[in-house]
Amino acid sequence: MSECKAVRSDGTPCRAHPLRGGDFCFFHDPGKRAAVIEAGRKGGARRTIELPEGEPLDPDRVRGIISYLIEATASGAMDALTARALGYVLRVDNRVLETHCLEQRLCELERMVEERRPSRA
C-alpha cells in the first residue's frame, strides 16, 4: 500500500495509508478539513456506542454496529484497537446466541424423544 503524500509539521513524511482513491490520509486530505476539525472538536465523544443494557443484540443491530465500526475506523474517528475489541465482543455475543439456540433445540429434541418412549410401568 502507498503512504499519505503529506509532510508533517516536524518535516517527516506522514506514513498513514491514504483514503481509497486519494493521495492523502483522512487528517491530511484538503477535502476533509471540516471533518478533521469536527473530529478534533468532538475528541473522544464518538468513541462510545450506545448498546441496549441487558438486552440481546439482534442480527440487524449487530450488522449496524459492524458497519459503524468499519466507517469509523476507515475515517480515523475510531482507533483500530477499539474497533477490534468491539468486533471481538460482537463475535462472543454471536457465539453465546448460537449456543443458546442450540441448547434450546437440543432440549426440545430430548423432550420429543422422551414423549415417544414407551412408559415403563
Instruction: Tell me the sheet residues that pair with 13.
Output: 7
- 17: which residues sit within 8 A by CB, 6+ positions away? 1, 2, 3, 4, 25
Percent pLDDT > 70 in the chain is 83
Q: What are phi and psi of 119, to 5 degrees?
A: -75, 145
74 is written with which cell numbers?
476507515
Higher pLDDT, 25 or 51: 25
Q: What is the pTM of this model?
A: 0.47
Distance CA 5, CA 57 (A): 41
Q: What local confidence, expressed as pLDDT, does residue 25 receive? A: 86
Instruction: Tell me the sheet residues that pair with 7.
Output: 13
